[in-house]
Chain A
């Protein structure tokens, strides 16, 4: 299960960062860390990118990047 598979309104907890290199570090710098709770807020009108809430702020990222972030669904 990865972040791109969550639907708007759903929550997940990050279990693994699949991304590597600069993208991984950039995501981590933005607070996308293992163990973090994340909520998918919206998908852009054209289907990509998506908006999530993490560390109580809004972050947008493309689905391609989100696919590298593994999550478990939480209620």
Chain B
């Protein structure tokens, strides 16, 4: 382990001029932030960039990209957060993104965030970053925790050995951040990493490869840092090999590494990994002094309960129950408030204004039933997205997410999923939309896609009103059992589809479960807020646009051709008539049912609304009584918001809130829908009614889920697959139920 003593400066690692050298340069400086997951990297970047942070996706993938532009001491700084990685090997999406960025975009400097409490494993990445020859400044983060643990880190020695500046930071308390920015933007000569010595075997092989590259492939050096390229070629890194198109001319690499492989008896990739760790651990031994006696740490104490053989699962389920309740209990009153505001005062105002300017009737209808309803439709999702993002970020930031995955992995693994899939699936019972967004906690693209595909089978809250109406009309005596059967059917089919997808669509891809259990930490409030806000904003802008467009489209479908007297003649009715024959074998082959199902594309609860409109003609003219004044409206908005806030707070205090709330809701529903129920009894038999609600449970995800999937995956592909398999599944299951039931004499 003499490696780090053999440090030599190398002109190879020093590009002739660095933009950082130009003092007072008005040009922008691009800084990449790299570090291990759980190193506090995201807190650090939040603390530096704050609200200037822009959250997007890396091109073509679903990995979050955070960047910010700001001015610091008269200089434009662009800061780019790389995905958290343990290494720069080419095996995970995150690693590939990080190294592609570093090698191809050539940032002016790297901030390497290192967890001071876990020095050795973090330094393994540092060693690899130094191979790139880009100026590096180390943020020795979580420094306070290291100090309180009694760790003594010799920063000066670390700087000397690595040849870079090391700044102790505490991102959660914003300590050291100014020094860090100063270091990274100031004169660069101090940041140029020294070339670490990888031992004579590796170094001599490297020199041979290096000579060959310089002689035969000098053009490769325009794009790739020399030492990096040499090492990647020695490792036979498949991505680099493909990229530089060196083809079959690898005999010089084989020749150069022959001795190395023989001496170490392993493949070069492993030898290199070994040596890098040797450097990291050698450095750690040199600079870190730990106290002899190790007291039992907080994390260990908590895990004694949280991961306990008997308590582990009950604790997990309790935690999930609380999160689920909080997510939906906190957001529901606000969503209801928004809904009430938009369908109430806003709609009235718009009508009044349009009436004032004597706009034609159809514009009023378009404005209120199309545009305002569309806006409302987007907005009611905002509270739940915000709430969900808040809790998910908290679970991840605190370290509990990894425990949840640990506890649940065995169960989820059987259906081809990852332990972490449980949480998105669970959220799906509330609303599939935040559930799809929550799949971003899964690192592996395969796990992410499979989870998203199965989420729509979790019976969401929007389907409940449909069940309630039909169960009320046909199965009042066994309401609980019938409702229960639907939820269980969704879960059972998810397990089945999971197994089928595992063996077909995702065949051959073997996901691995090699996951760090990070120490528990309190996530900073600011980080939580930024994440929550960014996600909510993102949803509002991106998803909002689509949803809005679709709801206007549906308005047209319902109301065109203009002046339709009967719903049957509207475009929606016509579409319904087209599809009706396909539903015949399922027991509800009429245009009314078909049109209602088509309108359920917007959201499944709309199925009931459309049925109401179609079956129960001329039910309007109910609230022509007294139109409230503007001041009444404003007052009402204020007080009802206060009520919503109060309700949300009460729900938090008593997590039993929702149980009482939903029962209230269903009684309300009962009264409202009574005429519809009567009519339904004439149109459906109990058997066809059950087939119908099963169909509603299973058929296509709603448009918001579609858009969430598009947003998360950057392609319509997964929605397309979900749409197709669900349609088939819904049809087949409803068919089996209806025809099977008839055979058994139930029809």
Q: Do A and B bind each other?
A: yes
A interface vs B, CB < 8 Å? Answer: 17, 22-31, 33-34, 42-49, 51, 55-62, 65
- Contacting pair A26 B409 (CB below 8 A): no
**15 more A-B residue pairs beyond the given contacts A29-B273, A44-B407, with a C-beta to C-beta distance below 8 A:** A17-B270, A25-B89, A28-B273, A28-B274, A31-B121, A42-B307, A42-B309, A44-B409, A45-B308, A45-B313, A46-B407, A55-B120, A55-B281, A59-B516, A60-B402
A26–B85 alpha-carbon span in the complex (Å): 11
- Contacting pair A49 B512 (CB below 8 A): no
Chain A residues near B309 (CB-CB < 8 A):
42-43, 45
Chain B residues near A55 (CB-CB < 8 A):
120-121, 281
Contact code string B304-318 (vs A, CB < 8 Å = 1, else 0): 000111101100000
- Contacting pair B89 A31 (CB below 8 A): no
B514 is contacted by which of A43, A45, A61 (Cβ under 8 Å)? Answer: A61
Q: Is B513 an interface residue (CB 8 A)?
A: yes
Q: Could you jot down 6 A-B contacts, CB within 8 Å?
A: A26-B512, A30-B514, A46-B407, A61-B515, A62-B409, A65-B514
Chain A residues near B92 (CB-CB < 8 A):
26
A42–B311 alpha-carbon span in the complex (Å): 13
A32–B477 alpha-carbon span in the complex (Å): 60
Chain B residues near A29 (CB-CB < 8 A):
86-87, 89, 124, 273
- Contacting pair B273 A25 (CB below 8 A): yes
Nearest 8 CB-CB pairs, A to B? A46-B410, A29-B87, A58-B517, A45-B312, A28-B273, A22-B91, A48-B410, A62-B513
Q: Is B613 an interface residue (CB 8 A)?
A: no
A26–B270 alpha-carbon span in the complex (Å): 10
Chain B residues near A43 (CB-CB < 8 A):
309
Chain B residues near A17 (CB-CB < 8 A):
270
A34–B517 alpha-carbon span in the complex (Å): 21
A42–B312 alpha-carbon span in the complex (Å): 11
CB-nearest residue of chain A to B516: A59
- Contacting pair B409 A49 (CB below 8 A): yes
Chain B residues near A60 (CB-CB < 8 A):
402, 405-406, 513-517
Q: Is B298 an interface residue (CB 8 A)?
A: no
Q: Is B5 an interface residue (CB 8 A)?
A: no
A15–B308 alpha-carbon span in the complex (Å): 30
CB-nearest residue of chain B to A62: B513
Chain B residues near A48 (CB-CB < 8 A):
409-410, 413
- Contacting pair A26 B407 (CB below 8 A): no
Chain A residues near B409 (CB-CB < 8 A):
44, 46, 48-49, 62
Q: Is B269 an interface residue (CB 8 A)?
A: yes
